[in-house]
Each structure stands twice: as C-alpha cells, then as structure tokens.
C-alpha cells in the first residue's frame, strides 16, 4: 500500500484516530479503527469499525474521478442500508458515509468473538476443512446457509455484482455453526433481471471451481439447495421465478464455456 494513501487517510481521520490497513483491492482500501465516526472516544466502548476508502485514481480526470467516487460511495451506502432491513439477510450495518471524500464506515463482523474463534471468508473456510474432511456436515450446513443468503438477495431483486467466495464472510455462532454475511457491494445493484442474477451465480460457481475444484460439484449442489429453497418457500410465484433464474444461469454458464474454449 502506498504511503500516499496512508497519509491521505491519516490526514482525514486526524492523528488522534488510530487505524490499521487490512485489505486492498482495485477499487478501495479497507482499514479498521476503534474510534466511532460520531461518538466521543470515551463512548466507543473499544469496539472495532471498518473504514472503506476509495482513493483518487490518477488515470482519470480529477473532476470525473470525484464524480465517480461520490456516485459509487453513495450507491454502495444506500444499497447496504436497504439490504440491512431485509428480514433474514445478513450484511454489515452501515454506520456513516462521506461520499464526497470516498469513505464508508461499517460494522466490524465478529466483534464479540474471542481471538481464536474469529471469522473467515468462505474461501478460507473451505480450505480449512479440505485437508481433514471437505464433506464435513458443518461444511454442508454452512454452504446451504450461504445459498439461502444469495437466494434472499435475489428474491428481493438485488444483485451483488462480484459474488466471489472472498466476499462472503462467515461468523462463528457456536462450536459447529457459522453464519454467512455478504460483504463488499461496490458493484451491487437493484435488479429484477434474470441475467444479472444468473451472472451472480456463475461468478460464484467459477470462484468455487477455481479454488476448490476437487469438491466443487458437491459444494455447488449444497449452495444451490439453499438458494432454491428460498424461492420454493414463496409458492407458485417463487417456483416460476426460480425456473427463469436457473434457465438463465445455464445460458450464462454456456456462454462462459464458449469464451474459455475460444480463448
């Protein structure tokens, strides 16, 4: 991570606010801090918060860059706020948004867990079980829950846009129970188009195949079981919409195979 980005964040937060970089992507950098954006330090209760920052892109004209940063930061914040209100859907809670400067403050998942319990993204979770028992009942239960979360997202006509196994966080609820959360909605959108939902499913399928190829068929079956159940729980209308989504998913999959064959 460049010193320029760290300096920008430090100047924005002021020297009195400690922060630590935990991830960097093409679009944004993610930090943690124990200072609430609004509450005095004495009232923060030593909780941890996540700060997502979109730094300026030098390859864009400054006015265009500012406009894009504002639009994308605001869009992601609005989407998170709406998703948080959907019963059963698990996403981090939005705390604050500074769209003009490209900052979003959100809840830190797994805050109350001991250090050895923690949390994991789906990719690392599956790797954790791979050497011992990749078909452990805990893995099956967790993947079905992940499928249910995606089903709830799509049933309510929202799409993720970058649904990889790294953007699904698992928080431990007990010795043998994990709760999935969907994170990073920078490319998310409101959409009732089956094409967008099919692409979401295809992106996740490719992520599972690329990192867990030996067990991918079983993992995909468990994921789709949870996904389909959400639609089936909504009666005839759900069955009809599920058929449309699955048909488009197959079409998207076929197009992806043709592209990979052509090169």
Catalytic residue of the set 65, 112, 133, 162: 162
Within a domain: residue 112? no
Look up the domain containing 223 and give its range: 119-262
Select from 55, 82, 107 the last residue of a domain: 107
Within a domain: residue 64? yes
Residues 147 and 42 in one domain: no
For the ranges 8-17, 47-56, 205-214, the lowest mean pLDDT is seen at 8-17
Write down the pLDDT at residue 263: 45
Q: Average model confidence (pLDDT) for the chain?
A: 91
Alpha-carbon distances of 166 from 4, 66, 125, 203, 256, rounded to whole Å? 26, 28, 10, 12, 21
Phi, psi dihedrals of residue 128, rounded to the nearest 5°: -60, -35
Q: Coil, strand or helix: which one is 97?
A: strand
pTM for this entry: 0.92
Residues 241 and 154 in one domain: yes
Q: Coil, strand or helix: which one is 52?
A: strand
Within a domain: residue 176? yes
Q: Is 162 a catalytic residue?
A: yes
Domain count across the chain: 2
Write down the pLDDT at residue 112: 57
Is the per-residue pLDDT at 73 higher than 50?
A: yes
- Per residue in 74-84, pLDDT (tens digit) is 999 999 999 99
Calculate mean pLDDT across residues 217-223.
97
Within a domain: residue 114? no
Q: What percent of the chain has pLDDT over 90?
A: 76
Residues 252 and 155 in one domain: yes
Long-range contacts of 228-233 (CB under 8 A, 24+ apart): 228/147, 228/151, 229/144, 229/147, 229/148, 229/151, 230/147, 230/148, 230/151, 230/152, 230/154, 230/155, 231/151, 231/155
Report the sign of the C-alpha dihedral through residues 71, 88, 217, 237, in that order.
negative
Instruction: In whole angstroms, give the CA distance from residue 111 to residue 249.
Output: 36
- Band the pLDDT of 102: cuts 50, 70, 90: very high
Within a domain: residue 89? yes
Residues 208 and 178 in one domain: yes
- Per residue in 8-36, pLDDT (tens digit) is 999 998 877 889 998 888 889 999 998 88
Within a domain: residue 90? yes
Instruction: In whole angstroms, give the CA distance from residue 112 to residue 77.
Output: 24
Residues 146 and 70 in one domain: no
Write down the pLDDT at residue 44: 62
Select from 107, 138, 173 the last residue of a domain: 107
Taking each helix axis as running N to C, give the angle between helix 235-262 and helix 194-211, from 0 to 180 degrees, rounded to the nearest 10.
60
Annotate 169-181 with DSSP letters as a single string.
EEEEEETTEEEEE
Residues 166 and 221 in one domain: yes
Is the per-residue pLDDT at 113 higher than 60?
A: no
- Supply the CATH number for residue 60's domain: 3.30.200.20
- Supply the CATH number for residue 136's domain: 1.10.510.10
- Band the pLDDT of 46: cuts 50, 70, 90: confident
Write down the pLDDT at residue 195: 97
With beta carbons less than 8 A apart as the criterion, state whether 52 and 34 touch: no
Residues 219 and 124 in one domain: yes
Write down the pLDDT at residue 164: 96
Residues 147 and 251 in one domain: yes
Q: Which residue has the tokens 């049933």?
A: 155
For the ranges 4-8, 192-196, 204-208, the lowest mean pLDDT is seen at 4-8
Task: Please give the biggest Cα pair distance in the chain.
Answer: 60
Other CB atoms within 10 Å distance of the CB of residue 117: 13
Helical (H) or strand (E) element with 117: none
Residues 80 and 158 in one domain: no
Residues 124 and 80 in one domain: no
Alpha-carbon distances of 75 from 40, 59, 190, 200, 217, rounded to whole Å? 28, 22, 10, 19, 35
Torsion of CA 252, 241, 154, 168, to 10 degrees: -60
Residues 160 and 225 in one domain: yes
Select from 107, 138, 161 the last residue of a domain: 107
- Position with higher pLDDT, 114 vs 19: 19
Q: Coil, strand or helix: which one is 43?
A: helix
């Amino acid at each position: 991570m460049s010193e320029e980005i760290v300096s920008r964040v430090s100047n924005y937060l002021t020297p009195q606010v400690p922060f630590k970089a935990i991830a960097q992507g093409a679009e944004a950098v993610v930090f943690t801090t124990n200072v609430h954006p609004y509450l005095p330090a004495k009232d923060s209760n030593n909780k941890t918060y996540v700060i997502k920052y979109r730094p300026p892109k030098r390859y864009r004209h400054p006015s265009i860059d500012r406009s894009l940063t504002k639009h994308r930061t605001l869009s992601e914040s609005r989407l998170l706020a709406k998703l948080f209100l959907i019963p059963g859907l698990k996403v981090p809670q939005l705390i604050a948004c500074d769209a003009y400067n490209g900052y979003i403050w959100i809840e830190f998942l797994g805050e109350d867990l001991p250090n050895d319990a923690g949390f994991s993204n789906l990719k690392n979770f599956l790797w954790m079980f791979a050497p011992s028992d990749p078909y452990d009942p805990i893995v099956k239960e967790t993947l079905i829950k992940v499928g249910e979360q995606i089903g709830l997202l799509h049933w309510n006509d929202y799409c993720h846009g970058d649904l990889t196994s790294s953007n699904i966080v698992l928080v431990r609820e007990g010795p043998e129970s994990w709760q999935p959360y969907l994170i990073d909605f920078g490319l998310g959108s409101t959409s009732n188009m089956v094409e967008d939902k099919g692409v979401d499913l295809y992106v996740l399928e490719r992520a599972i195949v690329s990192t867990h190829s030996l067990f991918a068929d079983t993992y995909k079956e468990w994921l789709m079981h949870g996904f389909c159940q959400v639609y089936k729980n909504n009666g005839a209308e759900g069955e009809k919409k599920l058929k449309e989504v699955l048909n488009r998913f197959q079409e998207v999959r076929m197009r992806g195979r043709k592209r990979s064959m052509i090169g």
